[in-house]
Structure 1
Amino acid sequence: MKRIICFLFLFLLFSCNTTHYFVYSKNHTYGIDFSNGKWLVGEIEANPYAKDKLTTLVLKDFSEYLGERVKYSLTEKSLLLPKQVPLNPSKSTILELKKGASFDYYVNIKCKNAKNDLTGFEFPDHFYYKKQMSFAEVTLEVYDLNLGEIIYSQTSGGSIEDENSFTNKPTTTVIVGCYNKIINDIKKKSIKTMSK
C-alpha cells in the first residue's frame, strides 16, 4: 500500500510541474579539455533573480574540474575586459580578450527569457504554445584565448507552465534547468582531470 501511495505522489509531483527542455546542437559540441590553463568565467547575462543562483552553480561546476584555476571576472580587479562579450565572437575579438586578461580560456554565458512570447526563441517546430508559460534559453560558449577560437558552444531552451510550478520564480527554474542540460553535456563529453 505504501508503494502505491508513494507512486501516486511521485506521479502527481512530476505531472503537475510540466517542464520541457531542448538542446540545440551547434558547432563545437565535442567535449572540453580541462587539463590545463587558467579559466575565466565572464559576467553571466541573466535576469536578476536567476543571475546569482546561476553564477554560483557555474563556478561550483567548473571548480570541480579546475579547482583554483577558474576565476570569476567580477571578482578579479586587474582585468581590462568589456562588460559584455557577444556570442559567436570573431577571432580578433577573442584575441582582444587575451590582451585584457592573463587567462587561457573564457566562459561566456547568456540567458534570455520571456513569458508567453516565443519571439526570438529557436524552439523546434513541434513545440506548442500554452497560456501562462515561462520560456528561457541559455547559451554557453568557451573560447581558447591563445588560439582565438570557440572550442565549445551549446544552447538549451526550455519552458514551464507557471500555474503548475512549485516555485514563485518559474523563469529561474527554467534557466537553471537549461544550464543543467548544457553542463550534463559537458560532463559526458569532456576530458576529466583531477583539479589541483
Structure 2
Amino acid sequence: MRITRLLLLLPFLFLSCSVPSYVFTNPAQAGLSFKDGKWLLNSIDGNNDVNNMIYKKAVEDFSGFVGTRLSETGNTNGLLLGVKIPLNPSQKQITDLYKGTKFDYFINIKTNMVKDNLAAVSLNVSHMSDNRQNMSTVTLEVYDLKNGMVIYSQTAQGSAHKPTDSTSDVHLVKSSQGLVLGCYNRLIKDIKKKSS
C-alpha cells in the first residue's frame, strides 16, 4: 500500500507548478445596493471561448443578487442599444442607454486574454525565456442609468509566470482562459463582500 502511494506521488516530484496571482486595479471601489430597480445584463464583450461560461455565471450570480429583476439584453424585446457599449461611458451615453432600455441599472463585462504564452502543461520549461506568461483581465462595470453615472467599475488582472528558479522540465500553469474565470470569480467575491 505504501509503495503504491509512493509510486503515485513520484511523478509530481518532477513537476513544477505556478500559482496564479490576481490584483484589482481599483481596490477602493465601493459596493452596490441590490435592494431595488430593474437590472439589465449586457452580453460579454471579448474574443475568447470562455465568454459563454462567464455569461452563464453572471446570469446566475446577478440573479442571486436581484432575483427576477434581472433581464438579459439578448432575451429582452424592445431595447434600443448600440452594438457595443464601451467601458467607462460618458454621462450622455449612459443617459442614452436609459432612454433605449428603461432599465435602472446596466451591467457591462469585458474580458481580455492579454498574453497566452504558456500551455497548461509546458515541457522543457527550463529552456524557455523568463518572460513567458499568461495574463488575462476582466472588467465589470455597473451603470446607474437614471442618474447617468458609473456606480461600480473594477478590473481584476490575473497572471501566471514561469518560475525563474525552476529546474524542472515539466511545468503546470493556469491557462489564460482559466485566468479569465479566476478574475471574474474575484470580482464577484469583491461585490459580495462590499454590497448589501
Place the TM-score, normalised by the shorter chain, in its bin. Answer: 0.7 to 0.9
Which segment is superposed worse, 90-99 or 43-52?
Answer: 43-52
Structure-2 separation of matches of 1:130 and 1:106: 41
What is the DSSP-based 3-state SS (H/G/I as helix, E as strand, rest coil) of the residue aligned with 2:151?
strand
Listed as ranges, the matches of 1:21-170 within 5 Å are 21-25=22-26, 29-115=29-115, 130-161=130-161, 163-165=171-173, 170=175
| Alignment coverage as a number of residue pairs | 170
After superposition, give the CA deviation of every residue in 1:132-170 in whole Å (9 maximum; x if it has no partner): 42211111110000000111111110113585137xxx1
In the superposition, the TM-score normalised over structure 1's length comes to: 0.77
**In the alignment, what sits opposite 1:126?**
none
Report deviation, 1:131. Answer: 4.5
**Contact 1:105/1:142 (<8 A) preserved:** yes
Structure-2 separation of matches of 1:103 and 1:46: 24
Report deviation, 1:115. Answer: 2.4
Report deviation, 1:130. Answer: 4.3
Q: Does 1:173 align with 2:178?
A: yes
Structure-1 separation of matches of 2:26 and 2:96: 27
Unaligned runs of 5+ in 1: 118-128, 192-196
Structure-2 separation of matches of 1:19 and 1:146: 39
**In the alignment, what sits opposite 1:189?**
194
Structure-2 separation of matches of 1:26 and 1:87: 18
Aligned-pair Cα RMSD in Å: 2.8
After superposition, give the CA deviation of every residue in 1:8-47 in whole Å (9 maximum; x if it has no partner): x7xx6xx7242111111167x1110000000001111123
Amino acid at match of 1:164: L
Unaligned runs of 5+ in 2: 118-128, 163-170
In the superposition, the TM-score normalised over structure 2's length comes to: 0.77
Amino acid at match of 2:181: V
**In the alignment, what sits opposite 2:19?**
18
Residues 161 and 77 of structure 1: CA distance in aligned 2, closer, same or farther (over 3 Å): farther
Structure-1 separation of matches of 2:148 and 2:115: 36
What is the DSSP-based 3-state SS (H/G/I as helix, E as strand, rest coil) of the residue aligned with 1:137?
strand
**Contact 2:41/2:73 (<8 A) preserved:** yes
Amino acid at match of 1:32: L
